[in-house]
Chain A
């Protein structure tokens, strides 16, 4: 038998413990009130951020067609293998595994991860345009390796390969510089943008609007559902003024020689064909060019990435005689009937300026002077005009100003004058320099597009057209403002045109002659080195002058004007004029008057505008 213990003190202490527990539970409840009710909204946002990821759906870029609806730039479906490391704990291991799966150097992936910009959850492209096998391999390991996934993207495709590459341009990931520039404002890192040509110039238009998916992802980063989808808006299709048949004819006629050629419609400035050689394949850039290939292209001394039509600055040589003639006639310095005697040289300002024909052309008028490209005639014209007027007229017909063509990075060219010389060389103008300028030497520089436009001025009766490439956007024609009338008197135009007709009919440009279509043109040779230097090393190709030919046709009602430059092609009549002739023959469907099958030795001797003997 046990006596009941005295448990009264114990009762009090147990009660204390009971109330301590009530207090603890109360504190916890208060804490949950704060966490769930007072700060609930804050945590709800965090939970949403946890599970919802915005994923861009790249909009297909607008298709590009030629003027007749032939596809120049297309999109094709492709698959990128991408890596999202946000939810990955052992990134290194993940990189190693994926690298082995799709045969990419782990170091390359690591490098890309380091260079990644933008939010944590943005994926890094490990392998663009992956093969079906790679896609299957990665998809099969979706559960074990959720950080690697397959991203379907439209890939730019250029079915013509190198064809018209400089017109169409190329696309690539936006660069750091572009990210900071206004032209690309609002475009995020990692996005594909135009990097050259029409792709770059009309990038905004072509890009369309990317769509957005808001996806629900689980803690391993695997997408489990789609919360929202805004479909992408494809960029509008763009029709170019390019005529791909003419473009291909041009490519054929140039036969891969370095140089450039452009054909425009003299009535409205539409660019019908534009070729720069050597070229490159924009398809290589579409999926991100390999560093080695990029180095090769960018370091190539023949600069295949450069669009010579708008970025090549060449001395116009004798083709400069066209603006000279326009200026002289308009200013009344000469008339078409004015004759000068060419004894083969001109002695002036204590210097002997030579003609390319040593024995001289004798007495000739403007038409013959243009046809035979007589230097002495134009020395005389130049001396009478003076540098100020020469420069003013040259600028009026488009020298020293970008043409405003809708392509990026067009250069200005150069028309020297006393002001320019004072600024740049801090020296005064010597009258003898005017004499050199008169035949397109002495520092004058122009692009093939500028020269084609000079031909167009004569062709369209004195209007300066703005060359452009866009004919229609989404089927709606794009209209250009009418070309500025330069105010040349019709007789001025007629006088110059007569000379240009004679060039092809009986002068230095006969190789551009067609049966059935009258062609007007002007040859030129752009000196690369001084005449004295060339004499020393006559065989060296790199020292040969560039051959020029500018022209338009049909002479009565011109629909096409061209500028052709064959680098180191020697005389324009031999190198550039046949290119123009061949292209025009195809364009109009008429035969050449002097088909190239005839060996040059047996051909009618063609007067050659050899490099001017303007020794100073």
Chain B
């Protein structure tokens, strides 16, 4: 079978730490029993992982265009007919099951990018060569940003950049892409960003502008993290999380709870586990037998890495608050299942390195 047990083990340990932290974060709150639900999500994730390793990744990449059309349709459906939950249209409800198609859009994007770039036989890539894939990804970015879910929309970019880089992107092209992104960033700021999003960025730059409002999360999270100190306040002993000062403490800010209660030692342990996961995932890419496999593994890893780094930086107050969950640890079905599916595809690439 040739499964990378170290990678799988690290993911399971992270998931277990996530469950324990969710239990602590919701201990005194209303969401009792969320850690049990999270265990169910993890089990479903493992099943999804097993399914995804059984299929040859090339059969998936070959159908990438079909999957892309399908996910674009799902995203349009969400935008037009999806239920409005807390001001956003992100969800598809199917009876008791609800999920965010944007999570799966990340995987579809990686599949499509791997296929498109692998088919290009050039040694180096210029702007013209990446324009096509760039536009297809841009469609996904815009649809997800319109939900609005800027965090997930941004997650599309790292796989694109990583795969383009691996495909041989010339330095000049990198510079042009950077320029375009900055231009679009400026235009987006001017026309596309909603007021609450702008406020989040303003208050990120100066949280004391509105300590009870948009700056609140950043301030409280920093206090939680900082007050954890070297060894933390102890499990279920974090005043910031236990007394409810931390917002979204079992979802996007789960790492903040961990940092407060387990301290710097807990933080470094978990960061080391994430680095192990990412490193081993890229080892899978290096072990791939073909460009498609390498690009697929690297693209997915880049997406995961972006989420981990951004979420942890957000918790530390380094970047603006975005609704971006921490893979494996944050509470939530879509995020957990996506994380395991992603790892499944990476394992898939490694497993078939000698196959024909």
Q: Is B263 an interface residue (CB 8 A)?
A: yes
Instruction: Let me know if A1 and B356 touch, CB within 8 A.
Output: yes
Query: How far, in Å, is B132 (CB) from chain A's closest CB?
Result: 21
Name the interface size band of chain B.
Answer: 35 or more
A46 at the interface (CB under 8 A from B): yes
| B290: A residues at CB distance < 8 A | 2, 4-5, 7
A46 and B271 in contact (CB under 8 A), knowing A7-B294, A10-B291, A18-B279? no
- How far, in whole Å, are A11 and B166 apart by their CA atoms in the complex? 9
Chain B residue numbers with a CB within 8 Å of A36 are: 225-226, 228-230, 259, 263-264, 267
B71 part of interface (Cβ distance < 8 Å):
no
Residues A43 and B316 in contact in the complex (CB < 8 Å), given A5-B291, A13-B166, A14-B294: no
Whether B282 pairs with A21 at a CB distance below 8 angstroms is: yes
How many Å lie between the Cα of A217 and that of B223 in the bound state?
16
How many A-B residue contacts, CB cutoff 8 Å?
A: 136
In the assembled complex, B244 has its CB within 8 A of some CB on chain A:
yes
**Residue A541 interfacial (CB < 8 Å):** no
Residues in B with CB closer than 8 Å to A37 are 229-230, 264
- Tally chain A residues at the interface, Cβ within 8 Å: 42
CB-contact partner of B225 in A25, A43, A89, under 8 A: A43
| Main SS at interface, chain A | helix
With known contacts A25-B275, A224-B243, A40–B227 Cβ distance under 8 A = yes
Query: With a CB–CB cut-off of 8 A, which chain B residues contact A29?
Result: 267-268, 271
Q: Which of the residues A15, A25, A33, A46 comes within 8 Å of B223, measured between beta carbons?
A: A46
Contact assessment for B309 and A17 in the assembled complex, using a CB-CB cutoff below 8 Å: no
22-72 of chain A: CB within 8 A of chain B = 22, 24-25, 28-29, 31-33, 35-37, 39-40, 42-44, 46-48, 50-51
Decide if A216 touches B243 in the complex (CB within 8 Å). Answer: yes
Given contacts A10-B166, A11-B286, A25-B274, A32 and B291 within 8 Å (CB-CB): no
Give Cα A218 to B28, complex, Å.
Answer: 11
- Bound state CA distance, A21 and B276, in angstroms? 10
Q: In angstroms, how far is the closest chain B Cβ from the Cβ of A45?
A: 8
Beta-carbon contact of A40 and B229 below 8 Å: yes
From 215 to 229 in chain A, residues with beta carbon under 8 angstroms from any chain B beta carbon are 216-220, 224
List residues of chain B with CB within 8 A of the CB of A44: 226-227, 229
Interface membership of A9, Cβ < 8 A: yes
Please indicate the chain A residues that have their CB under 8 angstroms from the CB of B294 in the complex: 7, 10, 14
> Contact at B222–A22, with CB atoms within 8 Å?
no
Chain B residues within 8 Å of A219, by CB: 243-245
Query: Is the C-beta of B312 less than 8 angstroms from some C-beta in chain A?
Result: yes
Q: Closest chain B residue to A40 by CB distance?
A: B229
Which residues of B lie under 8 Å from residue A10 when comparing CB positions?
A: 166, 286, 291, 294
In the bound complex, residues from chain B placing their C-beta under 8 Å from that of A220 are 244
The answer to whether A14 and B286 have CB atoms under 8 Å apart is yes
Let me know if B230 and A40 touch, CB within 8 A.
yes
Cα-based distance from A347 to B86 in the complex (angstroms): 102
When the two chains form their complex, are residues A46 and B275 in contact, meaning their CB atoms are under 8 A apart? no
Q: How far is the CA of A526 from the CA of B150 in the complex (A)?
A: 89
Are A22 and B298 in touch, CB under 8 angstroms?
A: no
Tell me which residues from 208 to 229 in chain B have a Cβ below 8 Å from any Cβ of chain A: 212-213, 220, 222-229
**Bound CA span A139–B318, Å:** 42
Residues of chain A with a CB closer than 8 A to B212's CB: 89
Complex Cα–Cα for A24 and B288 (A): 24
Closest to B168 in A: A9
Q: Is the CB of B227 within 8 A of A46?
A: yes
Interface: B162 (CB within 8 A): yes
Interface residues of A in 270-302 (CB under 8 A from B): none
Q: Which residue of A lies closest to B213 (CB)?
A: A89
Residue of B nearest to A24 (CB): B309
Q: 27 A–B contact pairs at CB < 8 A?
A: A7-B294, A13-B166, A14-B282, A14-B298, A17-B166, A17-B282, A18-B279, A18-B282, A21-B279, A22-B279, A24-B305, A28-B312, A31-B316, A31-B318, A32-B267, A35-B226, A36-B228, A37-B230, A43-B227, A44-B229, A47-B226, A50-B220, A51-B245, A89-B213, A216-B239, A218-B244, A219-B243
B interface residues, Cβ below 8 angstroms from A: 123, 162, 165-166, 168, 212-213, 220, 222-230, 239-240, 243-245, 259, 263-264, 267-268, 271-272, 274-275, 278-279, 282-283, 285-286, 288-291, 294, 298, 301-302, 305, 309, 312-313, 316-318, 356
Q: Supply 15 further A-B pairs (C-beta < 8 A) apart from A10-B166, A17-B166, A219-B243.
A: A7-B291, A9-B168, A14-B286, A24-B309, A25-B271, A29-B268, A31-B313, A36-B229, A36-B259, A37-B230, A43-B227, A47-B224, A48-B239, A89-B213, A216-B239
